[in-house]
Chains A and B, each alone.
Chain A
């Protein structure tokens, strides 16, 4: 029987090799995270002259704040939709490219381009396309009878940020899906084909299960992306508006902390956000990973 545990003959070396990573984690994660937790118990004026320990008051205030509860539900809608849309779209594209043999390189390159675009630039791009006053798409939509206005219509605004955020992430997902698809031995699919399984059946019974490790990894990455990295996109397209309808948690942390200078509340929000993402990741590894066959 093989054990998973590896035994190193040298007692110091393993720790020494781990040390740089631990140091980085401590300096760039544990320290700031600890500071955020500490600050979330304080009430401070902007310049830091008067600091009062208020215990859990910042948290209590958050939970009683309708705009915060709104941000929670907005984040749920936004993160699920963005992850679902970008995963689905990437899978479709990857399957399509995987079938091609000669031109795959060209398509792969083209599909990867959006990932090289900085999020803020992507945001501006989508803002331009959909701008109700000067944008191209609202003009076209107006011709078919839809009055697009994301600066007033909450649904339009949500659709806009989801599209912009997904568009950025599709490339990344696509790359992983394509690699996953190409690592599936063709012989498996050929055998199934000989047995009489059609393309749809082959996809759902062979390709998709064999892609499950990739899909699981991407699911985690995408949720984290939607919750943290979409800040520049929101900032450039809607700034959380109209009327807070696209104000996701991470953007609210920024607005309250950096614009509003309400540091205690902002710190409390960061701590909650951190807890939410840790909880989500744990749930994913505990429950979703069980269905993953490596």
Chain B
């Protein structure tokens, strides 16, 4: 008897499921993303807002793990013909995505085909430049862009006799401030940093107007080579090693540098460089002290410094192989996503950059920066000067792996196995091998 009831129930359920989907007739759009925790909750809120705003489309966000996992999952899904419509890809995956011409539906084309308004000029130049091909076409939809900034502990600064409202401007000042902080006993260490590769090499180079690679940092084609072993970078890495030996700098680990934030939160280190998108986390975790924000330090003797910093974070790529009606929904969703209201809310909740000028202006008129001093440092820094060939971003094949090499060579430097010059030379050599291999695999 029980068996029959179950079967009957299943049949009924299946019939109902069939009718209910038919009755609703909404087009579902899959969006694979890498935003966990608080960021994920905010993202779902944005999507829910879109789904409630109209009845034709339903965007379904799916959390796929970290950036690298999300990207690999999407590529594997594409190979199996099960790809989502939209996938969030971090900035270092840009080279790989751009090379996959048959797999991606460029955003400028998508918006034109769907008849949605789309004006690249509305976006911040640093963001547009990063995701535009050599013909000036924008290939992916900016969503969460960030740039590294300097966080500092105002209480420690005051204890050490420094002005709590003045963060160090140059690396020379940062060194002096650190000495004062450590001598006075206000904190055990001067500074720590997340993302060595992104903050202390890529952004360092852009901020000092030094090339990261040939052919406009790889924007000009696949035949590019890394050039991060110049005198400015060597000087900086030599200093980092010297500072680490003196205890001024403490290493927070490879990749994102998971050990760096606790050092800052526990007031062990007085200063901390990381993504502007860490702002919410920093403020939430700095329970017993006031946090100040400043721009990244620069070396005063390097010509052209400071220039402008470059972005990190991710954009949304559209994958080929779906029905036209579904792409109309994707385009419609993108219009919603880049509206000033949505972008301003996202920017204010997370610390990511407002990717459009309108979102920035809206945040200003809402009085956000007066209530949250320092939240606009990131925008000022990234728009400090008009981007040059050295500071509009970077685009290399296999860059995910090159990031790993950067971490490895940095660890060789800190452990004393190599000098800064050797580490950076080896980094360039090893990175170029990967770039050549990528070139071969993608030349056709």
Contacts and interface: CB of A to CB of B under 8 A. Distances in A.
Interface of A: 43-50, 52, 67, 131-134, 151-154, 239, 241-244, 255-256, 258-262
Contacts of A48: 79
Contacts, number: 86
Contact of A241 (B68, B398, B408): B408
Interface in B180-229: none
A152 to B, nearest CB: 5
B165 to A, nearest CB: 29
A52 B440 CA distance: 10
B79 A133 contact: no
Contacts of A241: 254, 407-408, 411
Given A133-B263, A151-B253, A47 B78 contact: yes
Contacts of B409: 243
Nearest to B398: A260
B200 to A, nearest CB: 15
A98 B100 CA distance: 62
A152 B401 CA distance: 20
A132 to B, nearest CB: 7
Given A44-B441, A47-B75, A50-B442, A239 B254 contact: yes
Nearest to A67: B430
B414 A152 contact: yes
Contact of A134 (B262, B411, B430, B443): B262
Interface residues on B, range: 35 or more
A279 to B, nearest CB: 28
B437 interface: yes
Contact of A256 (B401, B417, B443): B401
B100 A49 contact: yes
Q: Is the interface of B mostly helix, strand, loop or mixed?
A: helix
B444 A50 contact: yes
B440 A43 contact: yes
Contacts of A239: 254-255
Nearest to A264: B441
B259 interface: yes
Contact of A260 (B401, B417, B442): B401
Given A151-B253, A151-B254, A260-B401, 12 more contacts: A45-B441, A46-B96, A47-B103, A49-B101, A49-B103, A50-B441, A50-B444, A131-B259, A241-B408, A243-B411, A259-B400, A262-B401
A46 B99 CA distance: 9
Given A50-B444, A239-B254, A243-B417, A45 B100 contact: yes
B285 interface: no
Contacts of A46: 75, 96, 100
A260 B251 CA distance: 25
A258 B411 contact: no
B284 to A, nearest CB: 18
12 contacts: A45-B442, A47-B100, A49-B101, A50-B441, A132-B259, A133-B262, A133-B263, A152-B415, A241-B408, A242-B408, A242-B415, A243-B409
A151 B252 CA distance: 8
Interface in B46-100: 68, 72, 75, 78-79, 96, 99-100
A175 to B, nearest CB: 34
Interface of B: 68, 72, 75, 78-79, 96, 99-103, 251-255, 259, 262-263, 398, 400-401, 404, 407-409, 411-412, 414-415, 417, 430, 434, 437, 440-444
Q: Enumerate the 3 nearest inter-chain pairs by beta-carbon distance, A residue then B residue, closest first.
A: A242-B411, A260-B401, A243-B411
A152 B413 CA distance: 10
Given A242-B411, A243-B417, A262-B437, A47 B102 contact: yes
B398 A47 contact: no
A186 B414 CA distance: 58
B98 to A, nearest CB: 12
Q: Which of B255, B407, B441, B443: most chain A Cβ within 10 A?
A: B441
A262 B252 CA distance: 28
A50 B411 CA distance: 36
A291 B437 CA distance: 48
Nearest to A256: B401
B306 to A, nearest CB: 30
A262 B398 contact: yes
Contact of A243 (B101, B412, B437): B412
Contacts of A242: 254, 408, 411, 415
Contact of B408 (A45, A132, A243): A243
Given A133-B263, A241-B411, A152 B251 contact: yes
Nearest to A157: B411
Contacts of A243: 408-409, 411-412, 415, 417
Nearest to A133: B259
A116 B443 CA distance: 49
A64 B415 CA distance: 25
Contacts of B415: 152-154, 242-243
Given A47-B100, A239-B255, A259-B400, A152 B75 contact: no
